[in-house]
Amino acid sequence: MVRYPFRSIVITGASSGIGRALALELADEKVVLGLAGRNGERLMAVRSACEAAGATVVAETFDVAERDAVRSFVQTVEQRSPVDLVIANAGVFGMVSDGGLLEAPDRVAAMVETNIMGVFATVEAALSVMVPRGGGHLAIMASMSAITPLPHAPVYSATKAAVKAYGEALRPRLAEAGIATSVIVPGFVDTPMDRSHPSPKPLRMSAEKSARIILRGLVRKKAFIGFPWPLYGGAILASRAPVFLRDRIMKRMQRLPAGKRR
Ligand SMILES: NC(=O)c1ccc[n+]([C@@H]2O[C@H](COP(=O)([O-])OP(=O)(O)OC[C@H]3O[C@@H](n4cnc5c(N)ncnc54)[C@H](OP(=O)(O)O)[C@@H]3O)[C@@H](O)[C@H]2O)c1
């Protein structure tokens, strides 16, 4: 069984999908897990599964954009055991409706609040405990759409590009403070979010496999954890292609019209 060097880990968005899979992969008798989400029932189910694997779990429901709630949660976990890894994973998706050009205003607000402000709040909370100790590791969940923005999800793509840039900007100065920063760049991962998203999904993988790839990358303190690698490499190449070619490629990645959905 693979074991990881982390002993006290905070994961936002732990009640579902990738966050849940990360929690279950990390859970053993040596770790303290700080698990956060909004849906209490789902979060408690993850808590029970992690406790059954021997982990000590602190679980709390709050909106990740509420800065005080995030900070107080991270400090509670810190009191149990010094937090050595914070994974800012919570996120929401939205896309344009059939025939539309922009996402609905309420989805725009939710994506900006959760995917950007929620990540900022999580990083601020993490640094409030890591900087005084001069050590720790931050992991920020971006997306391949930060590299090759999705035509059917412009705001989602923009939020992910924002947090990718944020992580890259933080990395050099945090390294001087003894804190590692990783930006996670997944392709398509089979989760409830992904299933709400009717578009072509090349090389989609399970949340469990994704969690193992992410944790291997974190152990190696990789600056970018992009996977699956053929899609990551292809996205980087596509982002450097001439605009006409890039637009043609990305149009093929658009949400499928009703009737052609899988
Ligand atoms: N799945 C993919 O293909 C994919 C690809 C690239 C990047 N990502 C990113 O990976 C992350 C996890 O996504 P997922 O696919 O695992 O989705 P998911 O299954 O829908 O899980 C999202 C998690 O975020 C939590 N969350 C959402 N809004 C929140 C808020 N305002 N406050 C607190 N928690 C909130 C959810 O909590 P509740 O369950 O309690 O609502 C849930 O635990 C996201 O940042 C997503 O953008 C996913």
Q: What is the pLDDT of residue 262?
A: 40
The answer to whether the CB of 94 is under 6 A from ligand 1 is: no
Task: Give the predicted TM-score (pTM) of the model.
Answer: 0.96
Task: Tell me the β-bridge partners of 179.
Answer: 136
| CB contact at 8 A, 202 and 242 | no
Residue 115 Cα: closest atom of ligand 1:
45
| CB contact at 8 A, 259 and 159 | no
Q: What is the 3-state secondary structure (H, E, C) of 132-163?
A: HHCCEEEEEECCHHHCCCCCCCHHHHHHHHHH
Tell me the CA–centroid distance for residue 176 and ligand 1, in Å.
Answer: 30
The answer to whether the CB of 234 is under 6 A from ligand 1 is: no
Query: Which pLDDT tens digit goes with each residue over 157-212?
Result: 999 999 999 999 999 999 999 999 999 999 999 999 999 877 788 899 999 999 99
Query: Which pLDDT tens digit goes with each residue over 76-101?
Result: 999 999 999 999 999 999 999 888 88
As a whole number of angstroms, the distance between CA 76 and CA 88 comes to 17
Tell me the CA–centroid distance for residue 49 and ligand 1, in Å.
Answer: 19
The answer to whether the CB of 15 is under 6 A from ligand 1 is: yes
Q: In what order do the strands lie in the sheet with 85-88?
A: 56-61, 32-37, 8-12, 85-88, 136-141, 179-186, 224-227
Residue 93 Cα: closest atom of ligand 1:
47
Residue 40 Cα: closest atom of ligand 1:
40
The answer to whether the CB of 114 is under 6 A from ligand 1 is: yes
As a whole number of angstroms, the distance between CA 79 and CA 58 comes to 11
* 8-252, CATH topology level: Rossmann fold (3.40.50)
Query: Which pLDDT tens digit goes with each residue over 202-215?
Result: 899 999 999 999 99
- CA Rg, the chain, in Å? 18
Cis ω before 5 (30° cut-off from 0): no
Pocket test for ligand 1, best of 18, 33, 46, 47 (most atoms within 8 A of CB): 18
Residue in 36, 96, 25, 106 with CA at minimum distance from that of residue 70: 36
* Pairwise pLDDT comparison (193 vs 261), residue with the higher score: 193
Place of tokens 């205003």: 105
Q: What is the pLDDT of residue 207?
A: 98
State the DSSP string of the chain.
----S-SEEEEESTTSHHHHHHHHHH-STT-EEEEEES-HHHHHHHHHHHHHTT-EEEEEE--TT-HHHHHHHHHHHHHHS---EEEE-------PPTT-SS--HHHHHHHIIIIIIHHHHHHHHHHHHHHHHT-EEEEEE--GGGTS--TT-HHHHHHHHHHHHHHHHHHHHHHHTTEEEEEEEE--EESHHHHT--S--TT-EEHHHHHHHHHHHHHTT-SEEEESHHHHHHHHHHHTS-HHHHHHHHHHTSPPPTTS--
- Is residue 261 pLDDT above 50, yes or no? no
